Amino acid sequence: MESITQVTDLQSIFVEIDNSFDEIVSWRRYLHQHPELSFEETETAKYIADKLESFGLEVKKNIGGNGLIGILTGVQPGKTIALRADFDALPIEDEKEVPYKSVNPGVMHACGHDGHTTALLGTAQVLSKYRDKVKGKVIFIFQPAEEKPPGGAKFMIEENVLEDVDYVFAAHLDSKVPIGKVSVGEGYKMAAVDKFEIKIQGLGGHGARPQDSVDSIVIGSEIVNSLQKIVSRRINPLESAVVTIGVFHAGSAFNIIADTAKLEGTVRTFSESVRKQVREEIYSIVKGITEGFHANAEIDYLHGYPALYNHPKESYLVQQLLSDVFGEDQVIDIETSMGAEDFSYFLLEKPGTYFKVGSNNEDESTHYPHHHPKFDFDERALLNIQKSFVQIVAHYLF
């Protein structure tokens, strides 16, 4: 049960968050104008570090690359809560006609990472003013390279960023959900993502003499068709899996039989046993088809992010805490997705949950999906992320 003092503190903090809206919007728009690609976010990291230092926090830089953390140590001992935001952008041309349009050609914050970063900075700023209320520590984790495997989370964890952390949480903007709503849920909520590349070596020749050739396009086509049967005929129908071919490159002219072909695709799964089975099936199918056509093949298989698993106890707790902030009818079940998110690495190490915050309104400009060149959001969602984080921290540390 919250004490009257704690409730009063939270109300004061929420008022401060609301009053800081113009300031954090200016931060978000600066970041939106100056995006940097995964593993290249040096200037963004400097911007974040300067802000954290201005709040009086201890800052540790260059963790697992461009990653950094801010540390807020309370006046009394207690648990350690970690909050994470990502800050890399995507190789997309910004097509919005707004004053804060990206100034870096071909690079854009098209997934809301500028918003995540800004909201976590805002959370750090306001909580730094209530250090005397904190019993324990808050670790503000700013992670680079979420968009590009192997991702930044893995490298930050390898450098012990979660050492002594008790719980870890993250929020993501959601353009499919209206402003004011948040979504939470336990269990597997995002899939493991793997990438594979298949190089087929046949024997080129004249289009009029196929008998003298080994046609890599025909072989590649057989492989594409056969891979689609893995999910429908080899995987238990009560399990979930996706096998998608996104690239098929071969050939140079209409009358030449191509000697080589390259396929690229992705595998999405939740279960580790299914993940392993799909990989084995791909190798078996490729081997059988290429040998049957007297060709050779090489497979490069990359294990990407693991499936994201929201811990039940912490997910239920966050659901209750956010219901207190936004109202029970505003907290909905988070959608299960075959998309991927490298916050999954954090949740493999520590209990916690990943939740989403609605960011669209009646304006069509906020309805574009993530990774769209016109992606944008209702900036009031930044306030809702901050209030969510503060509510979680207060539960554990106030």
2 is in an annotated binding site: no
Greatest Cα pair distance, the chain, in angstroms, is 86
147 is in an annotated binding site: yes
Q: Which two tokens stand for residue 152?
A: 């930044």
Sequence-distant (≥ 6) Cβ neighbours of residue 266 within 8 angstroms: 193, 194, 195, 196, 242, 243, 244, 246
370 is in an annotated binding site: no
Residue 394 has what DSSP assignment? H
Residue pair 310/167 in contact (Cβ under 8 Å)? The answer is: no
Q: Which of 41, 88, 314, 342 is catalytic?
A: 88
CA geometry: angle at 146 spanning 238 and 275, to 5°?
Answer: 25
Cβ neighbourhood burial of 362 (10 Å; 0-12, 13-18, 19+): exposed
Residue 306 has what DSSP assignment? P
d(CA 267, CA 23): 42
Give the helix ranges, DSSP H, for the chain. 4-19, 21-33, 42-54, 113-128, 152-158, 216-233, 272-292, 312-326, 344-349, 381-397
**159 flagged as catalytic:** no
Residue pair 303/222 in contact (Cβ under 8 Å)? The answer is: no
d(CA 82, CA 365): 33
**146 flagged as catalytic:** yes
Q: Which of 146, 194, 281, 341 is catalytic?
A: 146
d(CA 110, CA 90): 6
CA geometry: angle at 39 spanning 107 and 242, to 5°?
Answer: 80
Query: What are the b/e assignments for 179-216, b being 16+ CB within 10 Å?
Result: bbbbbbbbebbbbbbbebebbbebebbeeeeeeebbbb
| Binding site per annotation, positions | 111, 113, 147, 172, 371
Q: Which residues are catalytic?
A: 88, 146
| Binding site per annotation, positions for Mn(2+) | 111, 113, 147, 172, 371
